[in-house]
Amino acid sequence: MLSCNNVTFRYDRSGLPVLRGASLELEQGEIGILLGKNGSGKTTLFKNILGIHKPSGGEILFQGQNLTKMSRRERARRIAYVPQDIQFGELTVFDSVLMGRVSHFGLKASHADYEAVEKILQDMGLESYAQRNVAALSGGERQKIAIARAMAQEPKLMVFDEPTGNLDISNEHLIIQEAKKLAREKNISILSSLHDLNQAMNFGDKFFFLKDGVVKYAGGKEIITEDVILDIFDIHVHIVEIENEKVFVGGHIHGNLHEH
């Protein structure tokens, strides 16, 4: 469904490439987690998928069509982006979610658009929030609104950049459960970065580990081993099994290497 084939990208013509032939495959309804150190190129890969940057080599296909050749509007009808800490400005929750439908309605929202927003707010248990000002909500609540807005786009794929970065653990858990439920119910794919390995295991079906500009390891939970984590993050962790789930314990930095 989403297929990145040998994507290369550099910010400056003279600079080093950030992506050096990154490839990944995500099927409809799957949740893929992109993992890698800070600066490994996760956001850069997302921005190539979202059309904010154009790959200098390789191709990105979505349902068999070349994403880089699609118009912004065509892309927005397929892919929604949930950035890390979204700032909506002084809008009501209802209007913030309605903004997600811009690629559907063009100049003026129709009755069907209003209905679609009402339905999403209902589905996500946010009806009582409709007339509240988003700027006055907590980080966790705002993140939920960001997901609701992405849902209003009726995308086939949602891209999340560290969706729980600024949240406490209970909100982190809530957002992940919510996103997972939506993905399952509506058969939407999610591609997300996440820095917490345990949350990643809880959220993802498939895992992509980015290092040196390529996806070095890809696959289901079975591919994640202590050696893979050591190679990607330069830390020693222990993986134990609790209730048939892998759990990451401890972790100390390998040799004198420091994560930046």
The full DSSP string for 193-209 is E-S-HHHHHHH-SEEEE
Binding flag, residue 53, ligand ADP (CB under 6 A): no
Q: Let me know if 194 is exposed, middle or buried by CB neighbors in 10 A (0-12, 13-18, 19+).
A: buried
Residues 62-81 that bind ligand ADP (CB under 6 A): none
Using the rule CB under 6 A, give the single segment among 35-43, 78-86, 151-159, 246-254 that binds ligand ADP: 35-43
Distance in Å, CB of 223 to ligand ADP, minimum: 20
Pick one of 13, 14, 38, 185: the residue that binds ligand ADP (CB under 6 A).
38
Q: Is 237 helix (H, G, I), strand (E, B) or coil?
A: strand
- Residue 42 binds to ligand ADP (criterion: CB under 6 A): yes
* Distance of alpha carbon 234 from alpha carbon 246, whole angstroms: 19
Q: Is 259 in the site for ligand ADP (CB under 6 A)?
A: no
Among 27, 28, 39, 54, binds ligand ADP (CB under 6 A): 39
- Judged by beta carbon, residue 11 or residue 245, the one nearer ligand ADP is 11
Q: Candidates 36-44, 103-111, 216-224, 246-254: pick the segment binding ligand ADP (CB under 6 A).
A: 36-44
Which one of 26, 44, 67, 199 is in contact with ligand ADP (CB under 6 A)?
44
Asked if 230 and 251 count as a contact pair (C-beta separation under 8 A), the reply is no
Q: How many CB atoms lie within 10 A of CB 63?
A: 12
CB nearer ligand ADP, residue 18 or residue 98 = 18
- Cβ 177 vs Cβ 31: under 8 Å: no
Q: Does 7 bind ligand ADP (CB under 6 A)?
A: no
Q: Is 24 in the site for ligand ADP (CB under 6 A)?
A: no
112, 77, 88, 46: CA torsion to nearest 10: 160
CB of 7 to ligand ADP, least distance (A): 12
Whether 248 contacts 235, CB under 8 Å? no
How many C-beta atoms lie closer than 10 Å to residue 243's C-beta? 5
Question: Do the strands 57-62 and 2-9 form a parallel or antiparallel pair, or are they unpaired?
Answer: antiparallel
Q: Taking a C-beta distance cutoff of 8 angstroms, is the pair 247, 241 a contact?
A: yes
Region from 41-49, 117-125, 164-172, 226-234 binding ligand ADP, contact rule CB under 6 A:
41-49
Considering the complex, state which of residue 44 and residue 164 has its C-beta at the smaller distance from ligand ADP.
Answer: 44
- Rounded distance, CA 150 to CA 78, Å? 10
Please, what is the minimum distance in Å from the beta carbon of residue 216 to ligand ADP? 14
Q: Could you tell me which of 179, 223, 182 has the C-alpha nearest to residue 202? A: 179
Q: How far is the CB of 178 from ligand ADP (least distance, A)?
A: 23
Chain residues that interact with ligand ADP, rule: CB under 6 A? 11, 18, 36, 38-44
